[in-house]
Amino acid sequence: MGHVQSKMVKKGAWVITEKYYTRLGNDFHTNKCACEEIAIIPSKKLSNKLEPGRGISIELQEEERRENHVPEVSTLDQEITVINPDTKEIFKACHWSILLDCIYTRHTYRSVLR
């Protein structure tokens, strides 16, 4: 059976991670030294439970970083837009002659076997 952590351990790890994220690292011993400087933890057993608490926050921050990515040049602001022949036919059918100046390519899709 797995060990269930108490509410105090979860909350303590969360508070330390949120307030002092920049001082924590991926190494247990680095986190242990940082936690000794940051907080007064009454027992060694509790201390060892609190210190490796950074892993959850790293995953959340990596996900947020991926979501907040902004490209340097927007695809809509580019001078040349590449379209495929099917899209060009749709533009012709809708009489959008302004958009026919785009460069179109003929992609051949094939699977690569190795």
State pLDDT tens for residues 20-75.
877 877 777 888 888 888 888 888 877 777 666 555 566 666 777 777 777 777 76
CATH class as words, domain 7-67: mainly alpha
CB atoms within 10 A of CB 91: 17
pTM over 0.75: no
Residue 113 pLDDT > 60: no
Question: Where do the domains of the chain lie?
Answer: 7-67, 72-114
Find, among 21, 22, 10, 18, the residue nearest to 50 by Cα: 10
